[in-house]
Structure 1
Amino acid sequence: MIGKAKSCIGGFSIFKYVIDDKKGMELMRNNLCGETPLEIFQEMKIIQDQNQRATNKLISMVLSPHINDGENLSRKELKNITKEFLEGLDIDLDKSMFIAFLHTEKEHKHIHILLNRVDEKGRLLKDHHIGKQAQWSAHRVAEKNNLISAKQLRIDKIKESEIMDDSKTLRKEIYQKHLNVLAAKPITMEKYFAEMLKKNIQFLPAINKQGQLQGFRVRDIDSPTDMKASDVHRNMGLKNLLSTGLYFETDNFILNDKLQEIQQLNEPKEQGREVISNSAQTYTNNHSYLFKTSFTASQAEDDLGRKRKKKNKR
Protein backbone atom coordinates (compact mmCIF):
# COMPACT_ATOMS: atom_id res chain seq x y z
CA MET A 1 0.00 0.00 0.00
CA ILE A 2 1.22 3.46 -0.96
CA GLY A 3 0.05 6.75 0.53
CA LYS A 4 0.68 10.11 -1.15
CA ALA A 5 -0.40 13.63 -0.21
CA LYS A 6 0.42 17.18 -1.23
CA SER A 7 -1.05 20.67 -1.03
CA CYS A 8 -2.12 22.27 -4.30
CA ILE A 9 -4.09 25.20 -5.68
CA GLY A 10 -7.07 22.92 -6.33
CA GLY A 11 -8.48 24.15 -9.63
CA PHE A 12 -11.52 22.66 -11.31
CA SER A 13 -9.42 20.38 -13.55
CA ILE A 14 -8.35 18.11 -10.67
CA PHE A 15 -12.01 17.69 -9.60
CA LYS A 16 -12.96 16.84 -13.16
CA TYR A 17 -10.16 14.23 -13.32
CA VAL A 18 -10.89 12.58 -9.96
CA ILE A 19 -14.70 12.61 -9.94
CA ASP A 20 -15.45 10.62 -13.06
CA ASP A 21 -18.00 7.78 -13.14
CA LYS A 22 -16.25 6.28 -16.16
CA LYS A 23 -13.13 5.71 -14.05
CA GLY A 24 -14.80 4.28 -10.97
CA MET A 25 -17.18 5.17 -8.14
CA GLU A 26 -17.53 7.45 -5.16
CA LEU A 27 -16.39 5.75 -1.98
CA MET A 28 -17.26 8.31 0.72
CA ARG A 29 -17.66 12.04 1.37
CA ASN A 30 -18.23 14.50 4.21
CA ASN A 31 -19.86 17.95 4.38
CA LEU A 32 -20.51 17.97 0.63
CA CYS A 33 -23.84 18.00 -1.22
CA GLY A 34 -22.88 18.56 -4.86
CA GLU A 35 -23.31 15.83 -7.47
CA THR A 36 -21.10 16.97 -10.34
CA PRO A 37 -17.38 17.80 -10.21
CA LEU A 38 -18.24 21.48 -10.77
CA GLU A 39 -20.75 21.60 -7.91
CA ILE A 40 -18.33 19.95 -5.49
CA PHE A 41 -15.55 22.31 -6.60
CA GLN A 42 -17.76 25.34 -6.03
CA GLU A 43 -18.80 24.12 -2.56
CA MET A 44 -15.20 23.87 -1.48
CA LYS A 45 -14.34 27.21 -3.07
CA ILE A 46 -16.95 29.01 -0.96
CA ILE A 47 -15.12 27.88 2.19
CA GLN A 48 -11.67 28.45 0.67
CA ASP A 49 -12.49 32.05 -0.19
CA GLN A 50 -12.62 32.81 3.52
CA ASN A 51 -8.83 32.62 3.51
CA GLN A 52 -7.32 35.09 1.07
CA ARG A 53 -3.73 34.68 2.19
CA ALA A 54 -3.08 31.04 1.29
CA THR A 55 -2.34 29.77 -2.22
CA ASN A 56 -2.56 26.01 -1.78
CA LYS A 57 -6.03 25.46 -0.34
CA LEU A 58 -6.59 21.82 -1.31
CA ILE A 59 -4.85 18.64 -0.20
CA SER A 60 -4.81 15.97 -2.88
CA MET A 61 -4.17 12.42 -1.66
CA VAL A 62 -3.86 8.98 -3.21
CA LEU A 63 -4.19 5.72 -1.29
CA SER A 64 -3.09 2.80 -3.41
CA PRO A 65 -3.29 -0.78 -2.07
CA HIS A 66 -0.92 -3.36 -3.51
CA ILE A 67 -2.32 -4.78 -6.74
CA ASN A 68 -2.90 -8.19 -5.11
CA ASP A 69 -4.74 -6.62 -2.16
CA GLY A 70 -6.80 -4.36 -4.41
CA GLU A 71 -8.29 -7.36 -6.18
CA ASN A 72 -9.55 -8.87 -2.92
CA LEU A 73 -10.69 -5.85 -0.91
CA SER A 74 -14.42 -5.18 -0.85
CA ARG A 75 -15.92 -1.70 -1.15
CA LYS A 76 -16.60 -1.70 2.59
CA GLU A 77 -13.00 -2.66 3.35
CA LEU A 78 -11.69 0.03 0.98
CA LYS A 79 -13.87 2.56 2.79
CA ASN A 80 -12.55 1.46 6.18
CA ILE A 81 -8.87 1.71 5.17
CA THR A 82 -9.60 5.19 3.73
CA LYS A 83 -11.01 6.28 7.10
CA GLU A 84 -8.03 4.83 8.95
CA PHE A 85 -5.63 6.52 6.52
CA LEU A 86 -7.23 9.94 7.10
CA GLU A 87 -7.36 9.43 10.87
CA GLY A 88 -3.63 8.61 10.73
CA LEU A 89 -3.14 12.14 9.35
CA ASP A 90 -5.07 13.64 12.33
CA ILE A 91 -7.98 14.62 10.10
CA ASP A 92 -11.33 15.02 11.83
CA LEU A 93 -13.70 12.94 9.70
CA ASP A 94 -16.78 14.66 11.13
CA LYS A 95 -15.72 18.28 10.60
CA SER A 96 -13.53 18.10 7.47
CA MET A 97 -14.81 18.59 3.92
CA PHE A 98 -13.59 15.87 1.56
CA ILE A 99 -14.54 13.33 -1.08
CA ALA A 100 -12.91 9.94 -1.74
CA PHE A 101 -13.30 8.44 -5.20
CA LEU A 102 -12.22 4.91 -6.16
CA HIS A 103 -10.59 4.52 -9.59
CA THR A 104 -11.00 1.06 -11.07
CA GLU A 105 -10.34 1.77 -14.75
CA LYS A 106 -6.82 0.41 -14.38
CA GLU A 107 -5.75 -3.01 -13.11
CA HIS A 108 -4.25 -1.31 -10.07
CA LYS A 109 -7.14 0.06 -7.95
CA HIS A 110 -6.46 3.33 -6.13
CA ILE A 111 -8.38 5.91 -4.11
CA HIS A 112 -8.21 9.65 -4.80
CA ILE A 113 -9.07 11.94 -1.89
CA LEU A 114 -9.71 15.67 -2.28
CA LEU A 115 -9.66 17.42 1.10
CA ASN A 116 -10.49 21.07 1.69
CA ARG A 117 -7.53 22.51 3.57
CA VAL A 118 -9.56 25.51 4.80
CA ASP A 119 -12.07 25.01 7.63
CA GLU A 120 -15.28 26.92 8.30
CA LYS A 121 -13.40 29.66 10.18
CA GLY A 122 -10.89 30.15 7.37
CA ARG A 123 -8.06 28.39 9.21
CA LEU A 124 -5.63 26.18 7.33
CA LEU A 125 -4.98 22.53 8.04
CA LYS A 126 -1.25 22.09 8.63
CA ASP A 127 0.50 20.44 5.71
CA HIS A 128 4.03 20.28 7.13
CA HIS A 129 5.66 17.04 5.85
CA ILE A 130 2.22 15.87 4.69
CA GLY A 131 3.84 13.63 2.07
CA LYS A 132 5.93 11.72 4.63
CA GLN A 133 3.00 11.53 7.02
CA ALA A 134 0.88 9.96 4.27
CA GLN A 135 3.53 7.30 3.65
CA TRP A 136 3.63 6.31 7.31
CA SER A 137 -0.13 6.44 7.71
CA ALA A 138 -0.54 4.04 4.76
CA HIS A 139 2.14 1.79 6.26
CA ARG A 140 0.34 1.63 9.60
CA VAL A 141 -3.00 0.91 7.90
CA ALA A 142 -1.39 -1.91 5.91
CA GLU A 143 0.13 -3.42 9.04
CA LYS A 144 -3.14 -3.21 10.97
CA ASN A 145 -5.10 -4.93 8.19
CA ASN A 146 -2.43 -7.46 7.20
CA LEU A 147 -1.95 -5.80 3.82
CA ILE A 148 1.22 -5.34 1.78
CA SER A 149 3.03 -2.12 2.64
CA ALA A 150 5.22 -0.39 0.07
CA LYS A 151 7.27 1.17 2.87
CA GLN A 152 7.81 -2.26 4.44
CA LEU A 153 8.90 -3.60 1.06
CA ARG A 154 11.45 -0.79 0.83
CA ILE A 155 12.61 -1.43 4.40
CA ASP A 156 12.98 -5.14 3.64
CA LYS A 157 14.90 -4.31 0.48
CA ILE A 158 17.28 -2.06 2.43
CA LYS A 159 17.80 -4.77 5.06
CA GLU A 160 18.41 -7.34 2.34
CA SER A 161 20.93 -5.00 0.75
CA GLU A 162 22.67 -4.56 4.12
CA ILE A 163 22.77 -8.33 4.59
CA MET A 164 24.24 -8.72 1.10
CA ASP A 165 26.89 -6.12 1.94
CA ASP A 166 27.70 -7.90 5.21
CA SER A 167 27.89 -11.23 3.38
CA LYS A 168 30.20 -9.72 0.75
CA THR A 169 32.48 -8.35 3.47
CA LEU A 170 32.50 -11.72 5.27
CA ARG A 171 33.38 -13.57 2.06
CA LYS A 172 36.29 -11.20 1.48
CA GLU A 173 37.55 -11.74 5.03
CA ILE A 174 37.33 -15.55 4.72
CA TYR A 175 39.07 -15.52 1.36
CA GLN A 176 41.87 -13.36 2.75
CA LYS A 177 42.35 -15.89 5.56
CA HIS A 178 42.46 -18.61 2.90
CA LEU A 179 45.21 -16.75 1.03
CA ASN A 180 47.20 -16.22 4.22
CA VAL A 181 47.03 -19.92 5.06
CA LEU A 182 48.09 -20.95 1.54
CA ALA A 183 51.01 -18.53 1.74
CA ALA A 184 52.33 -20.63 4.65
CA LYS A 185 52.33 -23.69 2.31
CA PRO A 186 50.40 -26.21 4.44
CA ILE A 187 50.97 -29.10 1.92
CA THR A 188 48.12 -31.34 3.13
CA MET A 189 44.41 -30.64 3.22
CA GLU A 190 44.32 -31.63 6.89
CA LYS A 191 46.95 -29.02 7.71
CA TYR A 192 45.06 -26.43 5.66
CA PHE A 193 41.83 -27.16 7.56
CA ALA A 194 43.64 -27.00 10.90
CA GLU A 195 45.17 -23.60 10.09
CA MET A 196 41.83 -22.23 8.89
CA LEU A 197 40.20 -23.47 12.11
CA LYS A 198 42.75 -21.45 14.08
CA LYS A 199 41.31 -18.45 12.25
CA ASN A 200 37.77 -19.49 13.29
CA ILE A 201 36.89 -20.87 9.85
CA GLN A 202 35.56 -24.43 9.91
CA PHE A 203 35.18 -26.72 6.89
CA LEU A 204 32.18 -29.08 6.85
CA PRO A 205 32.20 -31.95 4.30
CA ALA A 206 29.29 -32.30 1.86
CA ILE A 207 28.76 -35.93 0.79
CA ASN A 208 26.65 -36.83 -2.27
CA LYS A 209 24.28 -39.81 -2.67
CA GLN A 210 27.13 -41.97 -3.99
CA GLY A 211 29.01 -41.44 -0.74
CA GLN A 212 31.64 -39.31 -2.45
CA LEU A 213 33.00 -36.05 -1.14
CA GLN A 214 31.14 -33.42 -3.15
CA GLY A 215 32.79 -30.40 -1.58
CA PHE A 216 32.83 -28.37 1.61
CA ARG A 217 30.73 -25.78 3.37
CA VAL A 218 32.58 -23.04 5.18
CA ARG A 219 31.39 -21.86 8.58
CA ASP A 220 32.50 -18.65 10.21
CA ILE A 221 32.45 -19.57 13.91
CA ASP A 222 32.20 -15.95 15.03
CA SER A 223 28.97 -15.22 13.08
CA PRO A 224 27.99 -18.12 12.89
CA THR A 225 27.36 -18.14 9.14
CA ASP A 226 27.98 -20.96 6.72
CA MET A 227 28.00 -21.17 2.92
CA LYS A 228 29.46 -23.27 0.14
CA ALA A 229 33.22 -22.90 -0.05
CA SER A 230 32.94 -22.10 -3.77
CA ASP A 231 30.44 -19.31 -2.90
CA VAL A 232 33.09 -17.66 -0.74
CA HIS A 233 35.40 -17.72 -3.74
CA ARG A 234 35.67 -20.12 -6.65
CA ASN A 235 39.30 -20.79 -5.70
CA MET A 236 38.10 -22.30 -2.43
CA GLY A 237 36.11 -25.06 -4.13
CA LEU A 238 37.38 -28.61 -3.54
CA LYS A 239 38.73 -29.07 -7.05
CA ASN A 240 40.58 -25.76 -6.96
CA LEU A 241 41.99 -26.51 -3.50
CA LEU A 242 43.40 -29.79 -4.78
CA SER A 243 44.70 -28.00 -7.86
CA THR A 244 46.89 -25.81 -5.65
CA GLY A 245 48.89 -28.93 -4.76
CA LEU A 246 47.15 -29.83 -1.50
CA TYR A 247 46.30 -33.49 -0.96
CA PHE A 248 44.50 -35.62 1.61
CA GLU A 249 46.99 -37.36 3.87
CA THR A 250 44.32 -39.80 5.09
CA ASP A 251 41.74 -41.75 3.13
CA ASN A 252 38.79 -40.58 5.22
CA PHE A 253 37.02 -39.26 2.15
CA ILE A 254 36.01 -41.01 -1.06
CA LEU A 255 36.86 -38.83 -4.07
CA ASN A 256 35.38 -39.15 -7.54
CA ASP A 257 37.63 -40.26 -10.40
CA LYS A 258 38.61 -36.75 -11.48
CA LEU A 259 39.49 -35.60 -7.97
CA GLN A 260 41.30 -38.89 -7.31
CA GLU A 261 43.53 -38.19 -10.31
CA ILE A 262 44.42 -34.77 -8.91
CA GLN A 263 44.97 -36.31 -5.47
CA GLN A 264 47.40 -38.88 -6.88
CA LEU A 265 49.30 -36.24 -8.82
CA ASN A 266 49.66 -34.16 -5.67
CA GLU A 267 50.92 -36.99 -3.48
CA PRO A 268 54.66 -36.44 -2.86
CA LYS A 269 57.33 -38.87 -4.12
CA GLU A 270 60.41 -39.92 -2.16
CA GLN A 271 63.77 -40.26 -3.86
CA GLY A 272 63.87 -43.45 -5.92
CA ARG A 273 60.31 -44.61 -5.11
CA GLU A 274 56.76 -43.39 -4.63
CA VAL A 275 55.20 -42.93 -1.25
CA ILE A 276 53.70 -46.20 -0.06
CA SER A 277 50.22 -46.63 -1.51
CA ASN A 278 47.18 -47.65 0.49
CA SER A 279 47.28 -51.13 -1.05
CA ALA A 280 50.79 -51.66 0.32
CA GLN A 281 50.03 -50.23 3.73
CA THR A 282 49.63 -53.68 5.34
CA TYR A 283 53.05 -54.72 4.09
CA THR A 284 54.53 -51.54 5.49
CA ASN A 285 53.02 -52.12 8.93
CA ASN A 286 54.30 -55.74 9.04
CA HIS A 287 57.80 -54.68 8.01
CA SER A 288 58.06 -51.36 9.75
CA TYR A 289 61.63 -52.07 10.82
CA LEU A 290 62.72 -51.63 7.20
CA PHE A 291 61.68 -47.99 7.32
CA LYS A 292 63.13 -46.93 10.65
CA THR A 293 65.48 -44.02 10.32
CA SER A 294 67.95 -45.73 12.67
CA PHE A 295 68.47 -48.48 10.09
CA THR A 296 71.57 -47.05 8.30
CA ALA A 297 73.36 -48.14 5.11
CA SER A 298 76.38 -49.52 7.03
CA GLN A 299 74.09 -51.74 9.10
CA ALA A 300 72.56 -53.08 5.91
CA GLU A 301 76.05 -54.00 4.52
CA ASP A 302 76.98 -55.79 7.78
CA ASP A 303 73.79 -57.83 7.69
CA LEU A 304 74.40 -58.77 4.06
CA GLY A 305 78.01 -59.87 4.91
CA ARG A 306 76.85 -62.12 7.75
CA LYS A 307 74.31 -63.82 5.50
CA ARG A 308 77.04 -64.61 2.91
CA LYS A 309 79.36 -66.11 5.55
CA LYS A 310 76.57 -68.42 6.76
CA LYS A 311 75.92 -69.54 3.17
CA ASN A 312 79.64 -70.32 2.55
CA LYS A 313 79.89 -72.42 5.72
CA ARG A 314 77.06 -74.58 4.46
Structure 2
Amino acid sequence: MIGKGKAIAHTQASMAYGWNQEKDAEIVYRELLVGDDPREITKEFEMIQEQNVNCEKNTLSFVLSPAIEDGQKLNNKELGKITEAFIKEMKLQEHQAIAFVHKDKEHKHVHLYVNRIDFEGKAYNDQFVGKRSQQAAERVAQEMNLTTARERQEEKLLNLRITRNQIMEKHQQVMRERPRDLNTYMKGMQKQGVEVKPYINKSKELQGFRFVYKGQNLKGSEVNRAMSGSKIVKGIYQAPSRSKHINPIQAVKIASQIVQLNPAIVKTLANKVVSKVISASKDRGIEY
Protein backbone atom coordinates (compact mmCIF):
# COMPACT_ATOMS: atom_id res chain seq x y z
CA MET A 1 0.00 0.00 0.00
CA ILE A 2 1.20 3.50 -0.87
CA GLY A 3 0.43 6.53 1.27
CA LYS A 4 0.63 10.17 0.17
CA GLY A 5 -0.09 13.25 2.22
CA LYS A 6 0.07 17.04 2.23
CA ALA A 7 -1.44 20.09 3.93
CA ILE A 8 -3.95 22.06 1.82
CA ALA A 9 -5.98 25.28 2.00
CA HIS A 10 -8.76 24.47 -0.48
CA THR A 11 -10.76 22.19 1.82
CA GLN A 12 -14.20 22.28 0.18
CA ALA A 13 -12.93 21.84 -3.38
CA SER A 14 -10.76 18.86 -2.41
CA MET A 15 -13.50 17.28 -0.36
CA ALA A 16 -15.93 17.71 -3.25
CA TYR A 17 -13.49 15.75 -5.40
CA GLY A 18 -13.28 13.04 -2.75
CA TRP A 19 -17.08 12.85 -2.55
CA ASN A 20 -17.45 12.77 -6.35
CA GLN A 21 -20.30 10.39 -7.17
CA GLU A 22 -19.02 9.97 -10.73
CA LYS A 23 -16.13 8.09 -9.20
CA ASP A 24 -18.48 5.79 -7.26
CA ALA A 25 -17.34 7.50 -4.07
CA GLU A 26 -18.56 6.04 -0.77
CA ILE A 27 -17.76 7.05 2.79
CA VAL A 28 -15.59 4.42 4.50
CA TYR A 29 -14.58 6.40 7.60
CA ARG A 30 -15.99 9.32 9.57
CA GLU A 31 -14.83 10.79 12.88
CA LEU A 32 -16.35 13.65 14.90
CA LEU A 33 -18.49 14.85 11.97
CA VAL A 34 -22.22 14.81 11.15
CA GLY A 35 -22.54 16.72 7.82
CA ASP A 36 -24.04 15.12 4.72
CA ASP A 37 -22.17 16.91 1.93
CA PRO A 38 -18.80 18.61 1.26
CA ARG A 39 -20.17 22.07 2.13
CA GLU A 40 -21.50 20.97 5.52
CA ILE A 41 -18.32 19.03 6.37
CA THR A 42 -16.20 22.02 5.39
CA LYS A 43 -18.26 24.24 7.70
CA GLU A 44 -17.63 21.83 10.56
CA PHE A 45 -13.91 21.92 9.82
CA GLU A 46 -13.97 25.73 9.70
CA MET A 47 -15.66 26.02 13.11
CA ILE A 48 -12.60 24.36 14.65
CA GLN A 49 -10.11 26.07 12.34
CA GLU A 50 -11.32 29.51 13.48
CA GLN A 51 -9.45 28.85 16.72
CA ASN A 52 -6.16 29.08 14.82
CA VAL A 53 -6.26 31.90 12.26
CA ASN A 54 -2.47 31.77 11.72
CA CYS A 55 -2.61 28.36 10.01
CA GLU A 56 -3.49 28.80 6.33
CA LYS A 57 -3.10 25.22 5.08
CA ASN A 58 -5.37 23.90 7.77
CA THR A 59 -6.58 20.61 6.25
CA LEU A 60 -4.55 17.42 5.72
CA SER A 61 -5.22 15.49 2.51
CA PHE A 62 -4.12 11.85 2.23
CA VAL A 63 -4.42 9.17 -0.43
CA LEU A 64 -4.13 5.50 0.52
CA SER A 65 -3.60 3.15 -2.44
CA PRO A 66 -3.59 -0.60 -1.80
CA ALA A 67 -2.04 -2.82 -4.46
CA ILE A 68 -4.55 -3.59 -7.22
CA GLU A 69 -4.91 -7.23 -6.18
CA ASP A 70 -5.42 -6.20 -2.52
CA GLY A 71 -7.96 -3.52 -3.45
CA GLN A 72 -10.06 -6.03 -5.38
CA LYS A 73 -10.49 -8.10 -2.20
CA LEU A 74 -11.11 -5.26 0.28
CA ASN A 75 -14.68 -4.17 1.10
CA ASN A 76 -15.66 -0.80 2.52
CA LYS A 77 -15.56 -2.00 6.12
CA GLU A 78 -12.02 -3.30 5.71
CA LEU A 79 -10.95 -0.08 3.97
CA GLY A 80 -12.38 1.81 6.95
CA LYS A 81 -10.24 -0.26 9.33
CA ILE A 82 -7.16 0.43 7.21
CA THR A 83 -7.94 4.15 7.30
CA GLU A 84 -8.44 4.07 11.07
CA ALA A 85 -5.12 2.25 11.55
CA PHE A 86 -3.39 4.83 9.34
CA ILE A 87 -4.87 7.69 11.39
CA LYS A 88 -3.55 6.09 14.59
CA GLU A 89 -0.10 5.69 13.04
CA MET A 90 -0.16 9.40 12.15
CA LYS A 91 -1.43 10.27 15.67
CA LEU A 92 -4.50 12.06 14.37
CA GLN A 93 -7.19 10.24 16.40
CA GLU A 94 -8.44 13.43 18.10
CA HIS A 95 -9.02 15.28 14.82
CA GLN A 96 -12.11 15.50 12.64
CA ALA A 97 -11.74 13.21 9.64
CA ILE A 98 -13.66 11.74 6.73
CA ALA A 99 -12.57 9.26 4.04
CA PHE A 100 -14.02 8.16 0.71
CA VAL A 101 -13.20 5.20 -1.48
CA HIS A 102 -12.98 5.67 -5.26
CA LYS A 103 -13.84 2.58 -7.26
CA ASP A 104 -14.26 4.04 -10.75
CA LYS A 105 -10.92 2.60 -11.86
CA GLU A 106 -9.19 -0.76 -11.47
CA HIS A 107 -6.97 0.77 -8.82
CA LYS A 108 -9.23 1.22 -5.78
CA HIS A 109 -7.98 3.98 -3.44
CA VAL A 110 -9.07 6.06 -0.44
CA HIS A 111 -9.13 9.86 -0.16
CA LEU A 112 -8.83 10.94 3.48
CA TYR A 113 -9.34 14.48 4.78
CA VAL A 114 -8.35 15.39 8.33
CA ASN A 115 -8.74 18.72 10.12
CA ARG A 116 -5.20 19.86 10.89
CA ILE A 117 -6.51 21.90 13.83
CA ASP A 118 -7.52 19.96 16.95
CA PHE A 119 -10.27 20.93 19.41
CA GLU A 120 -7.79 22.95 21.47
CA GLY A 121 -6.84 25.08 18.45
CA LYS A 122 -3.42 23.51 18.00
CA ALA A 123 -2.14 22.84 14.47
CA TYR A 124 -0.77 19.41 13.66
CA ASN A 125 2.90 19.51 12.67
CA ASP A 126 2.96 18.93 8.91
CA GLN A 127 6.76 18.80 8.59
CA PHE A 128 7.72 15.88 6.32
CA VAL A 129 4.06 14.81 6.31
CA GLY A 130 4.50 13.23 2.85
CA LYS A 131 7.37 11.03 4.01
CA ARG A 132 5.61 10.16 7.26
CA SER A 133 2.50 9.18 5.27
CA GLN A 134 4.57 6.72 3.23
CA GLN A 135 6.07 5.21 6.37
CA ALA A 136 2.69 4.97 8.16
CA ALA A 137 1.09 3.26 5.16
CA GLU A 138 4.01 0.82 5.03
CA ARG A 139 3.52 -0.13 8.71
CA VAL A 140 -0.25 -0.53 8.30
CA ALA A 141 0.24 -2.74 5.24
CA GLN A 142 2.65 -4.97 7.18
CA GLU A 143 0.28 -5.23 10.14
CA MET A 144 -2.68 -6.13 7.91
CA ASN A 145 -0.80 -8.49 5.60
CA LEU A 146 -1.19 -6.22 2.59
CA THR A 147 1.37 -5.68 -0.14
CA THR A 148 3.80 -2.97 0.97
CA ALA A 149 5.17 -0.19 -1.23
CA ARG A 150 8.61 -1.80 -1.00
CA GLU A 151 7.27 -5.14 -2.18
CA ARG A 152 5.47 -3.43 -5.06
CA GLN A 153 8.68 -1.65 -6.05
CA GLU A 154 10.69 -4.88 -5.94
CA GLU A 155 8.06 -6.63 -8.06
CA LYS A 156 8.06 -3.73 -10.52
CA LEU A 157 11.85 -3.85 -10.84
CA LEU A 158 11.78 -7.61 -11.36
CA ASN A 159 9.15 -7.31 -14.10
CA LEU A 160 11.15 -4.51 -15.72
CA ARG A 161 14.32 -6.63 -15.70
CA ILE A 162 12.46 -9.54 -17.32
CA THR A 163 10.94 -7.23 -19.96
CA ARG A 164 14.32 -5.67 -20.76
CA ASN A 165 15.88 -9.11 -21.23
CA GLN A 166 13.03 -10.21 -23.48
CA ILE A 167 13.33 -7.10 -25.68
CA MET A 168 17.10 -7.63 -25.92
CA GLU A 169 16.64 -11.26 -26.96
CA LYS A 170 14.19 -10.27 -29.69
CA HIS A 171 16.55 -7.52 -30.89
CA GLN A 172 19.42 -10.00 -31.15
CA GLN A 173 17.23 -12.46 -33.04
CA VAL A 174 16.21 -9.80 -35.58
CA MET A 175 19.80 -8.57 -35.97
CA ARG A 176 20.99 -12.12 -36.67
CA GLU A 177 18.74 -12.02 -39.73
CA ARG A 178 20.81 -9.04 -40.97
CA PRO A 179 18.06 -6.52 -41.78
CA ARG A 180 19.03 -4.45 -44.81
CA ASP A 181 17.71 -1.18 -43.36
CA LEU A 182 15.83 0.34 -40.41
CA ASN A 183 12.42 -0.34 -41.92
CA THR A 184 13.25 -4.05 -42.19
CA TYR A 185 14.54 -4.03 -38.61
CA MET A 186 11.40 -2.32 -37.29
CA LYS A 187 9.13 -4.75 -39.15
CA GLY A 188 11.13 -7.67 -37.76
CA MET A 189 10.72 -6.37 -34.22
CA GLN A 190 7.00 -5.80 -34.83
CA LYS A 191 6.66 -9.48 -35.74
CA GLN A 192 8.27 -10.25 -32.39
CA GLY A 193 5.62 -8.16 -30.64
CA VAL A 194 7.88 -5.16 -30.02
CA GLU A 195 6.96 -1.71 -31.38
CA VAL A 196 10.00 0.37 -32.29
CA LYS A 197 9.44 4.13 -32.15
CA PRO A 198 12.16 6.33 -33.68
CA TYR A 199 12.91 9.33 -31.47
CA ILE A 200 13.21 12.49 -33.60
CA ASN A 201 14.58 15.50 -31.70
CA LYS A 202 13.59 19.17 -32.11
CA SER A 203 16.14 19.54 -34.92
CA LYS A 204 14.28 16.83 -36.87
CA GLU A 205 17.20 14.42 -36.44
CA LEU A 206 17.08 10.75 -35.49
CA GLN A 207 18.48 10.54 -31.97
CA GLY A 208 17.53 7.03 -30.93
CA PHE A 209 14.68 4.58 -30.47
CA ARG A 210 12.06 3.68 -27.91
CA PHE A 211 10.74 0.15 -27.51
CA VAL A 212 7.16 -0.59 -26.46
CA TYR A 213 6.52 -4.08 -25.09
CA LYS A 214 4.14 -5.48 -22.47
CA GLY A 215 3.07 -2.06 -21.26
CA GLN A 216 6.64 -0.78 -20.94
CA ASN A 217 7.97 2.10 -23.04
CA LEU A 218 11.76 2.18 -22.79
CA LYS A 219 14.62 4.01 -24.44
CA GLY A 220 17.02 1.71 -26.23
CA SER A 221 19.82 2.56 -23.79
CA GLU A 222 17.48 1.69 -20.89
CA VAL A 223 16.97 -1.77 -22.37
CA ASN A 224 20.67 -2.42 -23.00
CA ARG A 225 23.75 -0.42 -23.92
CA ALA A 226 23.91 -2.36 -27.17
CA MET A 227 20.57 -0.85 -28.19
CA SER A 228 21.53 2.82 -28.30
CA GLY A 229 20.67 4.67 -31.50
CA SER A 230 24.25 4.71 -32.80
CA LYS A 231 24.81 1.00 -32.15
CA ILE A 232 21.60 -0.05 -33.88
CA VAL A 233 22.35 2.13 -36.92
CA LYS A 234 25.96 0.86 -37.00
CA GLY A 235 24.82 -2.75 -36.68
CA ILE A 236 22.52 -2.41 -39.68
CA TYR A 237 24.42 -0.11 -42.03
CA GLN A 238 28.04 -0.93 -41.15
CA ALA A 239 27.77 -4.70 -40.82
CA PRO A 240 30.69 -6.70 -42.33
CA SER A 241 28.52 -7.65 -45.30
CA ARG A 242 28.06 -3.93 -46.03
CA SER A 243 31.74 -2.88 -46.02
CA LYS A 244 31.07 -0.75 -49.10
CA HIS A 245 30.02 2.03 -46.68
CA ILE A 246 33.47 3.58 -46.36
CA ASN A 247 32.10 6.94 -45.25
CA PRO A 248 29.71 7.21 -42.30
CA ILE A 249 26.11 7.66 -43.35
CA GLN A 250 24.44 10.98 -42.61
CA ALA A 251 20.77 10.02 -43.02
CA VAL A 252 18.49 6.99 -43.04
CA LYS A 253 15.09 6.18 -44.47
CA ILE A 254 12.25 5.52 -42.04
CA ALA A 255 8.97 4.52 -43.67
CA SER A 256 9.04 6.77 -46.77
CA GLN A 257 10.86 9.66 -45.11
CA ILE A 258 14.58 10.51 -45.17
CA VAL A 259 15.73 11.47 -41.67
CA GLN A 260 19.07 13.05 -40.81
CA LEU A 261 21.11 11.39 -38.08
CA ASN A 262 21.91 13.21 -34.87
CA PRO A 263 25.53 14.57 -34.99
CA ALA A 264 26.46 12.39 -32.00
CA ILE A 265 25.47 9.27 -33.94
CA VAL A 266 27.32 10.46 -37.05
CA LYS A 267 30.45 11.12 -34.95
CA THR A 268 30.27 7.65 -33.41
CA LEU A 269 29.92 6.07 -36.84
CA ALA A 270 32.80 8.19 -38.20
CA ASN A 271 35.08 7.03 -35.38
CA LYS A 272 34.22 3.43 -36.21
CA VAL A 273 35.04 3.99 -39.89
CA VAL A 274 38.40 5.60 -39.04
CA SER A 275 39.25 2.68 -36.74
CA LYS A 276 38.44 0.22 -39.54
CA VAL A 277 40.58 2.14 -42.06
CA ILE A 278 43.56 2.26 -39.69
CA SER A 279 43.19 -1.43 -38.86
CA ALA A 280 42.97 -2.36 -42.55
CA SER A 281 46.00 -0.24 -43.38
CA LYS A 282 48.08 -1.86 -40.67
CA ASP A 283 47.14 -5.24 -42.05
CA ARG A 284 48.61 -4.11 -45.37
CA GLY A 285 51.79 -2.91 -43.71
CA ILE A 286 51.03 0.80 -43.78
CA GLU A 287 52.00 2.69 -40.62
CA TYR A 288 50.60 6.02 -39.38
Please report the TM-score for the alignment, with normalisation by the length of structure 1: 0.48
Count of residues in correspondence between the two structures: 160
Q: Partners of 1:41 and 1:82 in 2: how far apart?
A: 20
1:81-160, aligned counterparts within 5 Å? 81-92=82-93, 95-154=94-153
Shift of 1:153: 3.2
1:40-119, aligned counterparts within 5 Å? 40-92=41-93, 95-119=94-118
Instruction: Specify the alignment match of 2:253 in structure 1.
Output: none
Shift of 1:10: 3.0
Report SS of the residue matched to 1:22.
helix
- Structure 2 gap segments, 5+ residues each: 161-288
1:208-219, aligned counterparts within 5 Å? none
Aligned letter for 2:81?
Answer: N
Report SS of the residue matched to 1:50.
coil
Q: Are 1:139 and 1:152, in contact at CA under 8 Å, matched by a contact in 2?
A: no
Deviations 1:253-301, CA, capped at 9 Å, x for gaps: xxxxxxxxxxxxxxxxxxxxxxxxxxxxxxxxxxxxxxxxxxxxxxxxx
Shift of 1:148: 1.1
Shift of 1:58: 0.5
Q: Partners of 1:65 and 1:156 in 2: how far apart?
A: 15
Aligned letter for 2:137?
Answer: A
Aligned letter for 1:61?
Answer: F
Q: Partners of 1:126 and 1:43 in 2: how far apart?
A: 21
Instruction: Specify the alignment match of 1:179 in structure 2.
Output: none
Q: Are 1:3 and 1:64, in contact at CA under 8 Å, matched by a contact in 2?
A: yes
Deviations 1:92-144, CA, capped at 9 Å, x for gaps: 2xx21010111111111100000000112211011121111111111111112
1:14 maps to 2:14: yes
Report SS of the residue matched to 1:138.
helix
Instruction: Specify the alignment match of 1:3 in structure 2.
Output: 3
Aligned letter for 2:70?
Answer: D
Q: Are 2:95 and 2:119, in contact at CA under 8 Å, matched by a contact in 1?
A: no
Q: Partners of 1:46 and 1:4 in 2: how far apart?
A: 26
Distance 1:39 1:106, change over 3 A: same
Instruction: Specify the alignment match of 1:26 in structure 2.
Output: 27
- Structure 1 gap segments, 5+ residues each: 162-314
Aligned letter for 1:40?
Answer: I
Please report the TM-score for the alignment, with normalisation by the length of structure 2: 0.52
- 4+ runs of 1 displaced by more than 4 Å? 155-161
Q: Are 2:9 and 2:56, in contact at CA under 8 Å, matched by a contact in 1?
A: yes
Shift of 1:160: 11
